[in-house]
Amino acid sequence: MNLKFLILLIFAMISWGISWPIAKLIAGVVPIHVLVFWRFLATFLSVIPIMIFLKIPFLLHSGKDYLSVILGGVIYTLYNQFFFLGLSNGLPGAGGVLVTTLNPIVTFFIVALVQKKRINKRQAIGLFFGLIGGLVILKVWEISFQGLLLTGNLFFLFCAFTWATLSLNSQRTGQSMSPIVYSLYVYAVGSVIEFLFSFRDPQFFAVWDFGVHFWLSMFYLTAISTTFGTTVYFYAATRLGSEIASSFIFIVPLSAYLSSVLIVNEPIQISVLAGGALAILAVYLINSGRKNVPVESLVEN
């Protein structure tokens, strides 16, 4: 096993975890449509040099590919809306643990339903632990619809389900295009969608008046966690295999929570730690019996 690729995977996972408190720092600074547009556009532009360097062709091969990236752009735009809506009111560490542990669980469950795959005993136990873990993180004993809205947890739940849908869509393109190509066009479509909703906003160009802290945060979210993190992850995962890569998913919620405690002084909650541990156990049980784990269901940023 190549140590270099293992180290790269660890850095990729940590970069995604840290993106949660970094995004919290700029959530609510401008209207969400404006914020997401500039994030998408900057990410789109930052992916192009990577593709040129890696000599990855830009062309899509069929109408089906065009349809997939358009659908992916719509879904990912929704995901980012929920992402920043949740962070505007919620805690990034708790949200990061909830979303990043539920992503592979929800994706597996939906795939099993759609493709009518049989769920074995180990996977059924994993789904059960995942459900319990999610409920503990949400503090189900205190739950109310108003509470879900005020804490941002309702939007974090929407994040998990929209990401699972995006994973299913991206898996369909796995044989016809590189994941990096898929990402490029998803960001392009998302940029167009958000531009249509944001260009008339009085604060559309307000981002240029913000200080260095805003742009450092935006640089991290675009160039580091998304472009660098995703490229490194797929590059390493294709050489180590998705089964090994999937085991590194456990680093994301841990790094999201620890970095949130350090960066935004998020209070440590026993419910998040306990629920997160159960959800991580669930992901392990679900993936340990699978020979080929789709890496798209694990990537989140």
For the chain, residues with pLDDT lower than 50 are 295
Residue 118 CA to residue 112 CA, distance in Å, equals 7
Residue 262 CA to residue 159 CA, distance in Å, equals 24
Q: How many helices (H) does the chain have, and how many strands (E)? A: 13, 0
The pLDDT value given to residue 72: 92
pTM: 0.86
Give, in order, the Cα–Cα distances in Å from 94 to each of 97, 179, 248.
5, 28, 19
Cβ count near 35 (within 10 Å): 24
The pLDDT value given to residue 299: 52
What are the structure tokens assigned to 276, written together? 């997160």
DSSP-assigned letter for residue 203: T
Whether 207 and 24 have beta carbons less than 8 Å apart is answered as no
The pLDDT value given to residue 241: 63
The pLDDT value given to residue 143: 63
Q: Which domain holds residue 188?
A: 3-297
The pLDDT value given to residue 289: 57
Whether 286 and 131 have beta carbons less than 8 Å apart is answered as no
- CA-based torsion, 289, 294, 295, 298: positive or negative: negative
With 0-12 CB in 10 A as exposed, 13-18 as middle and 19+ as buried, what is 61?
exposed
What are the structure tokens assigned to 120, written together? 């074995």
Residue 301 CA to residue 85 CA, distance in Å, equals 15
- What 3-state DSSP class applies to 141? helix
Domain total for the chain? 1
The pLDDT value given to residue 148: 57
- What 3-state DSSP class applies to 294? coil
Residue 81 CA to residue 35 CA, distance in Å, equals 10
